[in-house]
Structure 1
Amino acid sequence: MNGKIVGIVIMVSALIAGLGLYYLQIYGFYREVPVADVTLVSLTSQEPEPIAAGAVQAIDADSSPIRFRACFTTDLGLPLLTETYVLVDSATPRNAPGWFDCFDAEALGNEIETGTALTFLGQKNIAYGVDRIVAITDDGRGYVWHELNDCGEKAYDGTVVGEECPPLPSSLSN
């Protein structure tokens, strides 16, 4: 009898812990955030410049610098954008929580692969080792996410970052 009670307590505790973990990962840490501007890095100045963007929706979480996701629309065409802003060759859209339904990473990845969407550098080092990536489709839909750059991948996996990377902030080096 005592064994059954212990087993039930363990099962109920595991279920509660699993549900809590699921909730925290999908809902708990995220919050909607205002976005002042959608920016792209200029080919001439190498600085982020705001672009025309409407219907901006964005979410973020303090738990990780790569949880940011945003969606927007723009009237700017891809030919103008490619002549003006820095393209990114190998960007991979990161999954967003299912409830943030404007951001479908799989569909966006397919559009990038087929060439109906292009990826641009939105801002370099938005957080240490993290770049903001902006994808824009040929019909004017835009998507934003954060992705680790070379320094970030090295810093977060424990590899020596080397001289080409800026100094690691003291909050990350401890």
Structure 2
Amino acid sequence: MLGKFLAIVLVVSGLAAGGAMYYLQVYGYYDEVALKPGQDVVLLPLGKDTPLPIAYGDFQAIDASSSPIRYRACFSTSLKPEALAQLFQVSEQKVPRNAPGWFDCFDAEALGEALQAGTATAFVSVKNISYGVDRIVAVTDQGLGYAWHELNACGEKAYDGTVVGETCPPRPQNTPPAE
């Protein structure tokens, strides 16, 4: 009888832990991003270091403090990718990161296909928004826009454990809490 009880406890504990991990990964850490009119969608101009805002509407975004690459956003714009490419830095990024299934506006698979087919163009939005992470913005021919965070070359090196080298900025140091 004791063996059956222990087996049931182990199975129930495993199911509870699995359910909790699933919930935390898919729902738990995400928060809606507060709207900042005129600042939510910016692109990096050619030859410049400071991003500029572009016209947008219907903005919605999510982010999580648990990871610098969990940011996802959707918006609409009247601007065309061809016109934007004349003014802003185009990104070679063709594979957006997946968003949680409940964030319906961001379909990474469809966006990736549009980027591959040339019906969408990816742009650099903000370099090193977090150490080793850039914000990428993609705009489609239909006026839909998407944003996500992607590891840059320094981030890939820093997070896979290889030597970062002199071409990357120094990593920010964690400061101890004030006493």
Match of 1:24 in 2: 24
Dislocated runs of 4+, deviation >4 Å = none
Within 1, Cα distance between the matches of 2:89 and 2:49?
8
5+ residue gaps, structure 2: none
Q: Does 1:52 align with 2:51?
A: no
Greater Cα shift, 10-19 or 32-41: 32-41
Match of 2:78 in 1: 75
- Scaled by the length of structure 2, the TM-score of the pair is 0.93
Within 2, Cα distance between the matches of 1:93 and 1:78?
17
Within 2, Cα distance between the matches of 1:91 and 1:159?
24
Identity level (%)? 60
5+ residue gaps, structure 1: none
Given the alignment, which residue of 148, 162, 169 partners 1:166?
169
Q: CA RMSD in A?
A: 1.2
SS in structure 2 of the partner of residue 170 of structure 1: coil
* Shift in Å, 1:28: 0.4
SS in structure 1 of the partner of residue 53 of structure 2: strand
Within 2, Cα distance between the matches of 1:114 and 1:85?
20
* Structure 1 residues 35 and 154: CA distance shift in structure 2, 3 A: farther
Match of 1:154 in 2: 157
| 2:34 alignment partner AA | P
Match of 1:12 in 2: 12
SS in structure 2 of the partner of residue 84 of structure 1: coil
Per-residue displacement from partner, 1:8-46 (whole Å, max 9, x unpaired)? 000000000000000000110001012422000001423
Q: Does 1:135 align with 2:155?
A: no
Higher helix share: 1
SS in structure 1 of the partner of residue 86 of structure 2: helix
Residues 94 and 116 in structure 2, CA contact (< 8 A), matched pair in contact too: no
